[in-house]
Amino acid sequence: MSKVINLDQFRRKNRKAYLAKYSDRLDKLISTFVMTHIDTDFRQLASDFLTGKYGSNEEAWDYVDFRELLSEAIDQVFGDMLMDLIKTQHWYDRTMISRDEIIERSITAYVLGHQRVALVPSPWRK
């Protein structure tokens, strides 16, 4: 007569369905935002990070440190503006994707966007 529902399983299923439906839109919006608002070259930023770490003689650092620093910077500088833009979309549901996940997707768009630009074949090369 009664059916027991596992709430965590239900939420995971709904989230998976939401992301399957809207993930491409979200990624496209974030990618466009990143490409129009962040004009610093990723390779130069990474080089500056490495130079700073060498100069300060820190014993240990890696890409995770760089990504965390990038995450904090994007969140502080562009986080509110990006969230305001995303909130205007009819498909946005704050219960399905968090601000932290959106910032992570922004970092991915930033890193991959600059790599895609570098990988686009030149029409002058043969």
pLDDT at 10 over 70: yes
pLDDT at 110 over 60: yes
Tokens linked to 103:
């910032």
pLDDT at 6 over 90: no
Of 19, 5, 9, residue with least CA distance to 96: 19
pLDDT at 114 over 70: no
**What mean pLDDT do residues 83-107 have?**
94
Higher-confidence residue: 82 or 48? 82
Burial class (CB in 10 A: 0-12, 13-18, 19+), 110: buried
- How far apart CA 123 and CA 125 sit, in angstroms, is 6
